[in-house]
Amino acid sequence: MSTVLSPTSDQGTGGNGVVVASSGSSRRRPRRGRWHNSIGTVPFLVYLALFLGVPAISVIVTAFVNGSGHPTLSNFNEAVHGVYLQSFVASLKLSFGAAIISTVVGLLAALAVCSSSNRILRAIVTAGSGVFANTGGVPLAFSFVATVGNFGLITKLLSDAGFNPYNHGFSLYSVLGLTIVYQYFLIPLMILIMIPPIDALRKEWVDASSSLGATRTQFWRWVGIPLLLPPILAAFIVLFTDSFAAYATAEALTSGTIPLVPIQLGSLISGNVLAGQTNLGDALGAGMIFIVVVAGGLYIYVQRKASRWLR
Amino acid sequence: MERSGLSVELVGLSRYYKDVAALSSLDLKAEAGELVVLLGPSGCGKTTALRALAGLERLDEGTVSIGGRDVTGLAPSKRNIGMVFQSYSLFPNMTARANVEFGLRVRKMSSAQRAERSSEMLELVGLKAQADRFPHQLSGGQQQRVALARALAIKPEVLLLDEPLSALDAKVRSLLREEIRRIQLELGITTFFVTHDQEEALALADRIAVMNGGRLEQFGSPLEVYSHPATEFVAEFVGSVNRVQGVVGETGKVLVDELGVVEYHTAGNSGYSRGDAVEVLVRPEAIGLAQDPTGGCSIVGQSFLGASVKVKVATTRGSILTCELSPLEASQLDFGGAVSLYMKGPALLLSRRTGISSASAVEAQSAMS
């Protein structure tokens, strides 16, 4: 090779890494200007502090005191034993199962929608997902009871065809049943979350890999999936926490027969079981906060590992 | 570095989007080791032609041959073509080195071979020191160099460049353009370069294919395309022109009110006979300006372009002509005084004027005689 380009011949023209020294200080905005730009977030931050921060701190603090206001760990001791331990286990099983299924199914659906050139299909799926992702509670429970409940329409059709799922171990009023019901809003939520990152996969990357001799599978293995991994992980955490905290649908469908943490918590707060157990309820609440924080922390860790190219 | 060029032949390429022809019966042959620039405005079909050559665009008609081998039905991954895209198409999750090694990894080369080849390619484009940076840590010019190294690493038989410089600033663009040409000559690889920038095309190409509306308007050397445009479109797209009205006189001459008797090349302007009313296309640099108190023309504007000065002149006929002078010529003119125009070279092209009355033509003809 006779000659080579100068390594620095076109530096300073807009790249991030190579021009830090020259552009970093000149582009830095005045401190006052930066604060001015943040003023719009103040109402939201105040709202967050009042209705998320203060209640969360209150829950954590009161979880460590008894009914007389004295410090104790007995609330946590009770929260991790017996029926409450079972409720944590059941909630975690339900949330993991529901999140994994909806992550896989929703991702495949989002990929199909994004790769389709049918704009009408895309509009229908997006609009439908927006509606279904926000549906839950009694109406959702009723629609499932009416279709796949003991005497639901589909159950009856299957029974007439000689296969009654309730005679083969299936029950809508079980963890499996709830897992299926949760898919109604989790899959659409996954579709809504994944469409933007899938759209952000540029066609040039596919074309470039193709011209370099790669098959579709190789493209997805080395480029597509690594790029989608952070948003998939983020979506999984969202789906997990969404199903972990879901209350109304589970309560309406099972009337508390399945010991899930939100249902136990609701019972304690409303005093349905025993009066004066709100501190135990706070301990359960603190336990839920802990699990969500762990899930969030895990997401941040894995996301940083998976997207080191962004740093 | 071994020379790896092969001839490329496109025969009757057509591509339709519903009823619109993006490509219409395109025939083009690039010789081995040649750099062909596909030049034209947006939507003229140049990128479609390039993508069809790469196998990324389905063809409705036509064949693509590389080195005499018909590759029309081959998948892009089987054509051994290197391609650089307009927008930086580096894989963002890979370092510069990993990007360059991508095609080698696909070919199942050992890690030692990959490392050697990628180092060689990164050195070729001057980025060996930046091998471990991710794309977002590189400038636009550096990213395109990595893209070029990645395309060349697989030792392609043909290199395709789809407006690779259009997102870069003028200085980097000019520098990288020269480097692309140097590397292309060094490797002897047959290259197709798409651009809408006529200056880029003239500076780079062995031959330019000027396209318009999915069709090939002209295919020739930069000098041929610039000096002997086959069509009015080519004359106006590659460079700038003045349009003035005239009447054809004796062979090879035409009378123009503003410029007097102007010569033209009969080879590219056949079919005209004495007395025909025509439009005459004249390059700005073919018109000279002289200080002349009786000239009747006046300078109405000027723009300094560095290597030249563009001067707008109002003629006695009320038309405005653009002349391109050297800064030295321009400095010798009194911009407030009257000037006269004269031709420094032949006219570029004649175009038949329609709707002109025969009486006007006869009047003009008698004025010439």
Task: Give the span between the Cα atoms of B114 and A234, in whole angstroms.
Answer: 34
Question: What domains are defined for chain A?
Answer: 82-310 (1.10.3720.10)
Which spans in chain B are helix H?
46-54, 96-106, 111-124, 140-153, 170-187, 198-204, 222-227, 232-237, 327-331, 358-368
Domain B8-236: give its CATH code: 3.40.50.300
Q: What is the torsion angle, in degrees rounded to the nearest 10, for the CA atoms of residue A275, residue A278, residue A283 and residue A289?
A: 130
Chain B nearest C-alpha distance from A124 (Å): 25
* Residue B96 in tokens: 């510069």
Kindly list the strands in the beta sheet with B242-248, ordered across the sheet, starting from the edge strand earlier in the chain. Answer: B260-263, B253-256, B242-248, B277-282, B349-352
Contacts of B85 in chain A (CB under 8 A): 204, 207-208
Q: Is B164 on the interface with A (CB under 8 A)?
A: no
Lowest-confidence segment of A97-101, A178-182, B4-8, B326-330 by average pLDDT: B4-8
Q: What is the reported pLDDT for A3?
A: 37
Best B77, B134, B181 member to test A by mutation, with max A CBs in 10 Å, is B77
Question: Which of A198-207, A268-277, A281-290 has the least mean pLDDT?
Answer: A268-277
Q: How far is residue A287's CA from residue A291's CA, in Å, rounded to a whole number?
A: 6
- Per-residue model confidence (pLDDT) at position B94: 94
Model pLDDT for residues B263-321, shown as the tens digit of each residue: 888 777 778 888 888 989 999 999 998 888 888 889 998 899 888 999 999 988 888 99
Q: What's residue A275's pLDDT?
A: 54
pLDDT confidence tier of residue B135, bands split at 50, 70 and 90 = very high
B217: which DSSP letter? E
Average pLDDT, chain B: 88
pLDDT of B28-78, one tens digit each? 999 999 999 999 999 999 999 999 999 999 999 999 999 999 999 999 988
* ipTM at complex level: 0.78
Res A112 pLDDT > 50: yes
Closest chain B residue by Cα to residue A207: B56
Q: Which two tokens stand for residue A235?
A: 């979506």
Question: What distance in Å separates the CA atoms of residue B316 and residue B339, rounded to the nearest whole number?
Answer: 11
What residue ranges do the domains of chain B occupy? 8-236, 240-368
Using 50, 70 and 90 to split pLDDT, how confident is the model at A15? Answer: very low
Task: Tell me which amino acid residue B223 is.
Answer: L
d(CA B215, CA B233): 12
pLDDT band (50, 70, 90) for residue A220: very high
The single-letter DSSP state of residue B126 is T
Residue-level pLDDT at A16: 30
d(CA B160, CA B180) in angstroms, rounded, equals 12
Who among B91, B136, B169 is closest to A13 (CB)?
B169
> What percentage of chain B reaches a pLDDT higher than 90?
58
**Class (C level, CATH) for B240-368:** mainly beta
pLDDT at residue number B314:
92
Q: How many CB pairs under 8 A join A and B?
A: 148
Contacts of B309 (CB under 8 A, 6+ apart): B302, B303, B324, B325, B326, B327, B329, B330
Report the C-alpha gap between A157 and B351 in whole angstroms: 80
- Interface check for A207 against chain B (CB to CB < 8 A): the answer is yes
B202 vs B222: CA distance, rounded Å: 5
pLDDT at A274: 54
Cβ atoms B209, B36 nearer than 8 A: yes
Please report the pLDDT score of residue B4 as a whole number.
59
pLDDT at B197 over 90: yes
Tokens representing residue A28 in the block: 């830095």
Contact A277, A197 (CB under 8 A): no
Q: Say yes or no for a CB contact (<8 Å) between B77 and A212.
A: yes
Please give the full DSSP string across B242-291, using - where no structure is assigned.
Answer: EEEEEEE-STTEEEETTTEEEEB-STTS-S--TT-EEEEEE-GGGEEEEE
Res A14: pLDDT = 32
Looking at residue A272, its pLDDT comes to 56
CA atoms within 13 A on the CB side of A67: 6
Question: Region A185-195: what's the mean pLDDT?
Answer: 95
Q: What is the C-alpha separation between A262 and A267, in angstroms, rounded? A: 9
Q: In Å, how far are A94, A103, A141, A198, B183 from A188, measured between CA atoms?
A: 18, 10, 17, 15, 51
Residues 6+ apart with CB under 8 A from A298: A237
What pLDDT band is residue A18 in, cutting at 50, 70 and 90? very low
Q: Any chain B CB within 8 A of the CB of A12?
A: yes
| Across B342-367, average pLDDT | 65
Residue closest to A205 by CA, chosen among A230, A223, A184:
A223
Is 80 exceeded by the pLDDT of residue A193?
Answer: yes
Supply angle C-alpha B92, B96, B100, rounded to 5.
105
What is the average pLDDT across B218-240? Answer: 93
- Number of C-alpha atoms within 13 angstroms, CB side, residue B102? 34
Cβ contacts of B103 on chain A, cutoff 8 Å: 212-214
Do B13 and B192 contact (CB within 8 A), yes or no?
A: no
DSSP B228: S
pLDDT computed for residue A310 by the predictor: 63
What average pLDDT does this structure show over B244-258?
A: 87
Residue A296 CB neighbours (<10 A): 13
Q: Which candidate in A212, A222, A310 is best for mutational testing of the B interface (most B CBs within 10 A)?
A: A212
Question: pLDDT averaged over chain A?
Answer: 83
Residue A29's pLDDT band (cuts 50, 70, 90): low
Give A290's Cβ-side CA count (13 Å radius). 14
Q: Which residue has the tokens 């590992």?
A: A305
pLDDT at B358 over 50: no
pLDDT exceeds cutoff 60 at B359: no
Give phi and psi for A33, each to the nearest 5.
-65, -40
Instruction: Express each pLDDT in B85-100 by its tens digit.
Output: 988 789 999 999 999 9
For CA atoms A33, A39, A40, A45, the dihedral sign is: positive
pLDDT in tens, B115-130: 999 999 999 888 989 9
Asked if pLDDT for residue B168 goes beyond 70, the answer is: yes
pLDDT band at B259 (very low <50, low <70, confident <90, very high): confident
Q: In whole angstroms, give the CA distance from residue B304 to residue A302.
A: 58
CB B71 within 8 A of CB B79: yes
Q: Which of B356, B364, B350, B361 is nearest to B270 (CA)?
A: B350
> Minimal Cα–Cα distance from A299 to chain B, Å?
19
